[in-house]
Every structure is written in structure tokens, then in C-alpha cells.
Structure 1
Amino acid sequence: MRQSLTITRLGAQGDGVAETPAGPVFAPLTLAGEVIEAEVRDGRAEDIRRLTDSPERIAPVSPHYGDCGGCSLQHWAPAPYLAWKREQVRLALFREGLETEIADTVATAPGTRRRLALHARRGPNGRTLLGFKARRSWRLVEVTACPVADPRLVRAFPALAEVATPFLEHPKSAPTLHVTWTLTGLDVDVTGVERRSGGLSRDGQMRAIEAAGRADLARLSLAGETLMMARPPQVAFGPATITLPAGAFLQASPEAEAAMVQRAVAAVAGARRIADLFCGAGTFTLPLATVAPVLAADASAEGIAALKAGAAAASGLKPVTAEARDLFRRPLSPQDLKGVEAVVFDPPRVGALEQTRQIAASGASVVVGVSCNPATFARDARVLVDAGFRLETVTPIDQFLWSAHIELVAVFRR
């Protein structure tokens, strides 16, 4: 039975929410104030027909909007969309009893995302399809345009489909191409290839390498193992240039990365020694080393090696000491942080509760928290505030445009 529903707000995942006697109903691709007619199953609206439109609704720019699982907020005008992201950060802090100045959300322009995860599947006619998963489904939506992506990535889609084809040789393989635009060209790491049956055959590897050559890839790797490298894939972190390890983490948008780095560097000005924890390959470490000597740590040995090589080849940097260390199993202690006046930490989505406790007990006077999850950030922030830090400011960063995903940079001072 179809129901008429009025959307009253947007939930944390960006779906519209209608309050009903049976509980909240979540309706994707809707906005507050809209009236819809839909089938309701297990608290979700399906087969939605909008009866009224919000004045904040705008025309989406992607031809795949509504089918593709990405860009779920592309129909929302920029100002209220960015304000909603700021409000999500405020709510996360409020749940932990925290209040502070929250800056306006830093916007990211379309066409600037340098990283994509493209799924490859065999089409009904044998053609290789490349794209993203449909909303709440394993079905693949073939993508021919992507307004969030760097246009150089989009232009490479046909060549990347050719590169993907050899990885489909086993019927159980579901390859994903992790594609990154670097200073020296495209870097592609492929995951999701069936391994129990022996993995990619020698013939498949050769066909993939040949296709990578025709596509002029800088590097092609399979689950982090290099298959071919025409040129080292390189990115710049501050004054240093590093060669990305295969499959390494990299911020999705250079614009968002620059906004986060600028705020971190400004916050630690005057510090005589800095620690950068969960440092990866040096996104923050190398710019921070223009300010003071840096102690860096991350679980990725390959990332630490790339960071060290980049620091050694750069000029004008203060000394960098870098250690491959699992900060969840072995967080840096106050003794390890002795002499450190400022700490920058950028953990994964789960946050870094135990490492935060060690930072709180250290002698650091400034802490910069970078996070991709406001909820775990707020939990960790509570630890610092309880230890005598003041949460000075939080800046939301809209790195993943038109999604519910929120990045942030926060500054704490004793």
C-alpha cells in the first residue's frame, strides 16, 4: 500500500526522514519540506513519487544521478547543503557534550577528485563495463561521465575498461580499479581478482600489461604488487615529491588536502618539535617539516619508506624521523612524545581512542585532529577536553562532493 509522507529533515546519511506513527521512514533523494508518495518497507520509502518540491531542490548535473550510488545530494542547492554538513559536525560534538566555534564548511569544486574506485563487470554482450554500484545494490551502473572527477580520469574510462578486461578471466572475479591521477600519469591498483583458483594467469597478466601500455599508465598493480611501471607515480606534499606506494592512501581531492594541510600548518606555528601520527606517506609530515622537526609514525612500512625518500630528496626541510608502527597496538606513549610540543593525527574512520589518551597525557600544548568521521572524532575530542585541552575551532571540509561524507580539521590547545 502506498503512503503519503512529509519529509521533515535529513538524516546523517543524507536521506530524507518522514516521522510516522510506526517510526521514522527514510526516503533517498528527497529534501525537507517535500511531500512524497511511496511504498514503505522496513522503514524505507521505495518507488518514490514526489508530490511537492523543496525550494532548495536544484537540477542534478550527472546523467547517472538517481541510479548511480554516488552523489546522493546532488539535487540540493549549495548553501543549505554545506550548512547541513556543518550541522552534522555540531550534532556529533553536542552528543559528547562539546561546544566550540565551527567554521563554515569548506567547499570543493566539481571536477577536482583525483581518485576513483571503478568496478568492472562483463556486460551481456561480452563488453567490459566500468562504473559504480547502484544505490543499495550490487548492480553495476556503467558510467560515461562523472562531474566530481578530474576530467582526465573521465577521458581515460574507455582505456581503463580495456585494462580491466584481462582481470575478468575468472567468472568469480569482481575487479575494482583504484585509479589515481598523479603528476606522472595514471596509477591503477586492481583488487577483487579471484585468488583461490590461482589468481590472474600469466597470459592475463601479459594482456593487462599490454593494455596498460596502450593506456599510457604510469603504473599498474594487482593488490599492491606491481605488474608494470612506465614511470614512478608521484605526488607533491609541500616542498617534497614522493613516489606513491602501490595501493597507498591519498586524499581524494588536492583542493581538500590543501585546505586541511594549510590549517594544520598554521595551528602548529612556533612549535619546536611536532609529531604526525597516522602519517601515511607524508601528506602532513612534509609540509609540517617546513615549521619544525617532525616525528612521524604509521602502520604502513611502504608509506614510511616513501616518506623518508621524499624527505631526503627535498630541500629546506627540518629533520624528519619516521617509524613504521601500528598505533592501535602500540600507540606512542608520553615518553615517546617527550619534547613534542604539537601533535597532528589523522586516523582512519574508527578514530584513535587509545592513541588520543596517550596524547592527552603527553606534554604537547597543541593538537590538530583530522578526521573523516565526526562521531569518532567527537568521542576522541572528549578525551582531550577532559585532560585540559580547549577545543578551539573545527572546520568541516567537503572533500566528497554531494555525498553525506564529512571531513574535518580541529585545533586543540592546553
Structure 2
Amino acid sequence: MSEEIIRIAAKGDGLTESGRHVAGTVPGDRVEADGTILPGPHHVGPPCRHFPQCGGCQLQMADDAALTRFVGERVAFAADSQGLTPETLAPPHLSPSRTRRRATLHAQRAGKKILIGFREGGSHRLIDMAECHILAPELLALVAPLRSLLGQWPGTLAADIQLTRVDQGVAMEIKGISAENLAQTEGLLDFARAQSLARLSIDEGFGPEPVWEPEPATVTLGGTPVAFPHGAFLQPTEDGEAALLAAAKEWCGDARFIADLFAGLGTFAFALAGPAKVLAAEADRAAHLACQSAARQAGKPVHALHRDLFRDPLTAAEISKFDCVLLDPPRAGARNQVDEIAQSTVSRIVYISCNPQSWARDARRLAEGGFRLKELRPVGQFRWSTHVELASLLVRD
């Protein structure tokens, strides 16, 4: 007797009504007793030859309707698990393919061949990338030249390559190689020049050092160029960033004083500043200094504060000075900071999250402090992935 797949579970497996998990299925598929999958109307052929081996994607067998439903359900189920019901649950936003502007690839030598790509899911085995439907074309175009460059390094090779699209092009950081002689140094410079890189940095184990950077690498946030430190966080797609910014601008509204907590380089702070005054609190020193310098140079009403909000959260008294609080914490959430917010007198919170589970736990604590979940917007920036983000508005009267 066959069973129908009713939804996609959190880790990407299809789920039947009886609770059976079946990999590689989507809602509408049917599964026979022997495990045979009968594709339904939302089951499509994967666009990439590397699926499902490549760990970069888990859901390429799902059409846009199934992907959108999955993103929405992940967020809605997380809220429901904590007894939260949004007054408005917006339709999910799904970023297009080939728009990922940052990624970390891996490289290794296999005989005379250099392999570059993502790893298999749950494995150290490397998939040699011949195509990719999530990376921005500028990033993918660097894979073949990278093979030639890394082929110049003799012996065992195990390198990590971080790629980020910035204002000047692509910033690349390679960890796991070092230039031992003049020929290798010149090879790095020739490669950076030929590929028109914005920056090429090498990390020999003591932190990345630029070997090529014709002009300082920047990212423009809210119309403000901000220096881009090594390893700094950016939203994975400009499309997804725009969706999150739209929510933040709408919900912060006419607030005159805004606290942007876990501000990073100032993704939200610069977009919200003027006429509003924004406090941008961030623990990472390099990101804090970049935000601070950009605000001064642009004359933006952004006050950058260097502060570890996990160990030293803004107090309830400090929070009460603001009309609105925006927070975008790491995946673990912001329990200590949320507890202080709950005890403050602030009445409006915009909470951006890359982890629906930790967000739901924090939102529950805010609900216990008198907030209600006014609106929830699911965002799928990591297309074909089980990674889901969201924007939420919590208010109290």
C-alpha cells in the first residue's frame, strides 16, 4: 500500500501522514511499501548534474511551489511550537537561482587533478564542481582558473576558498597554501590581475593577508560604502537582503531612535538612518570599526558601539531610550539580550533571524513580557536548501 508525502520535514526528507521519512520526495509524491517513489505534480528533475551528491543543495527535486511551501511551513511550525500565532503570516519570499554572492569552496589534489567544489552532505568527499545553479555567475567563473592556479602548488593540497562579491568585484581568500618562492608569488598576482579580483588574500594559518587589493574593498549598505573586512558577514543574496530591508524599513516606520543590535557592518543601520538616529551595536571589532568609519565619512546618524551583547547585553534601562529595537543575532539567538528587552519599556521589535527555532524561543520570552507577534515573513535566501530565514514584528500596547 502506498503513502502520500504531505510535507517536507526540517532536514529535507519528505514526510508521510504516518510519520515515515523518505529522502528525495516532495508533497504529492507517493511511496510504495518497497520504497519505490511515484513522483507527484511538484516533483521535478534537478537542474544540476551534481544533485543529490553535492551538499550545497538538498531540495532540487522540488518545484517553486513546493519550495515556497517548505519555507513558509518551517517558519510557521517554529512559531507554533512555542505557542505563537502571528496576526499576519506573509507569503514566503524565495530568492532566484544563481544569486548567491558569498560561498566557501574546498580544494584538494586527486592525483594530477585539482578538485574544487562543495562537499557531499555529511561527508568529507569533495564534489568537483562543473556547474552550480546557486552561485552568482561571477563566482562560478573563477572555479576553472582556480584549478590552474592551485595546480602550481606541489604535493598534498587541502585548501578552503572564500568568495564574496563586493563593490569592486570578487574578494577571494585562500586558506591552506603559502607562496614559497617568487614564481608562486608572481602566479598569485598574475591570477588576481587576470581575473580582475577586488582582493586576493592568503591565510597561512595566522589570519588572511592581502597580496592583491588595487583599492580598498567595500560593500555598499543603505547607499553607504563600507570597508569589507576579511570574513565579514553579508546576507547571502542581494535579493534576500532587499526583502529583509523592506520589512525593517516598513516596521521601524517613523521611529526617531533605533537600536540595531548585532549590527555587523551596518546592513540595517545605514538603511534605517536619516532622519532616524541609529545605534549599531556589534561585538566583532573589525566590523564595528568598518561601520564606525563609514558612518563618519558619510555623515550618517549612525553611532557604532563595540559591545558583546551575549556577555554584556544592553540593559532594560538602555533599551527603554529607543523607539524601536532591531536585532539580527547569530544562529544561537539572543536570550540574554531578549530578557533585557522584555523588561524594558520599548514597544516595537523587529527581529530578523536565520534560525526559526532559536527565534521562536526568543519570541516566546518576548511574548511572556507582553509582546504580541504582529507579522511574520519567511525568507528563503538559500535556494534549494533547508536553511530558512525570517523577519518578524513584535509589538506591545
TM-score between the two structures when normalised by the length of structure 2: 0.91
Gaps of 5+ in 1: 39-48, 194-198
User: After superposition, where does 1:9-408 map in structure 2 within 5 Å?
Assistant: 9-17=7-15, 26-32=21-27, 33-35=29-31, 50-100=36-86, 101-124=88-111, 126-165=112-151, 171=156, 174-191=158-175, 193=176, 200=178, 202-203=180-181, 207-221=187-201, 222=203, 223-314=207-298, 317=300, 319-408=301-390
Return the letter of the residue paired with 2:200: L
Return the letter of the residue paired with 2:15: V
From the superposition, tell whether residues 170 and 4 of structure 1 become closer, same or farther in structure 2 (CA, over 3 Å): farther
Q: Residue deviations 1:183-232, cap 9 Å, x none?
A: 201101234x2xxxxx7354356643443333221112224433331232
- Cα deviation for residue 237 of structure 1 reads 0.7
Give the SS at the match of 2:264: coil
Q: Which residue of 2 aligns with 1:45?
A: none
- Cα deviation for residue 74 of structure 1 reads 1.3
Give the SS at the match of 2:158: coil
- Cα deviation for residue 13 of structure 1 reads 1.1
Give the SS at the match of 1:412: strand
Return the letter of the residue paired with 2:385: S
In 1, Cα distance between equivalents of 2:387 and 2:376: 16
Conserved? CA contact 1:113–1:252, under 8 Å: yes
Give the SS at the match of 1:336: helix
In 1, Cα distance between equivalents of 2:31 and 2:320: 59
Conserved? CA contact 1:56–1:77, under 8 Å: yes
From the superposition, tell whether residues 51 and 15 of structure 1 become closer, same or farther in structure 2 (CA, over 3 Å): closer
Q: Residue deviations 1:339-392, cap 9 Å, x none?
A: 211110000111011111111122222110000110000000011111111111
In 1, Cα distance between equivalents of 2:250 and 2:208: 35
In 1, Cα distance between equivalents of 2:148 and 2:275: 46
- Cα deviation for residue 289 of structure 1 reads 0.8
Conserved? CA contact 1:108–1:398, under 8 Å: yes
Q: Which residue of 2 aligns with 1:413?
A: 395
In 1, Cα distance between equivalents of 2:17 and 2:292: 54
Return the letter of the residue paired with 1:104: P
In 2, Cα distance between equivalents of 1:175 and 1:5: 45
From the superposition, tell whether residues 368 and 252 of structure 1 become closer, same or farther in structure 2 (CA, over 3 Å): same
Q: Residue deviations 1:251-305, cap 9 Å, x none?
A: 1100100110111011111112100011111111111113411111111111011
Gaps of 5+ in 2: none
Q: Which moved more, 1:365-374 or 1:209-218?
A: 209-218
TM-score between the two structures when normalised by the length of structure 1: 0.87
Give the SS at the match of 1:370: strand
From the superposition, tell whether residues 170 and 302 of structure 1 become closer, same or farther in structure 2 (CA, over 3 Å): farther
From the superposition, tell whether residues 133 and 393 of structure 1 become closer, same or farther in structure 2 (CA, over 3 Å): same
User: Percent of counterpart pairs with the same letter?
Assistant: 35
- Cα deviation for residue 115 of structure 1 reads 1.0
Aligned-pair Cα RMSD in Å: 2.3
Conserved? CA contact 2:44–2:62, under 8 Å: yes
Conserved? CA contact 1:224–1:247, under 8 Å: no
Conserved? CA contact 1:277–1:345, under 8 Å: yes
Give the SS at the match of 1:235: strand
Conserved? CA contact 2:24–2:59, under 8 Å: yes
Return the letter of the residue paired with 1:293: K
From the superposition, tell whether residues 17 and 170 of structure 1 become closer, same or farther in structure 2 (CA, over 3 Å): farther
Conserved? CA contact 1:57–1:75, under 8 Å: yes
In 1, Cα distance between equivalents of 2:47 and 2:375: 34
Matched positions, count: 388
- Cα deviation for residue 177 of structure 1 reads 0.9
Q: Which residue of 2 aligns with 1:43?
A: none
- Cα deviation for residue 99 of structure 1 reads 0.5
In 1, Cα distance between equivalents of 2:211 and 2:141: 23
Conserved? CA contact 1:271–1:291, under 8 Å: no
Give the SS at the match of 1:141: coil
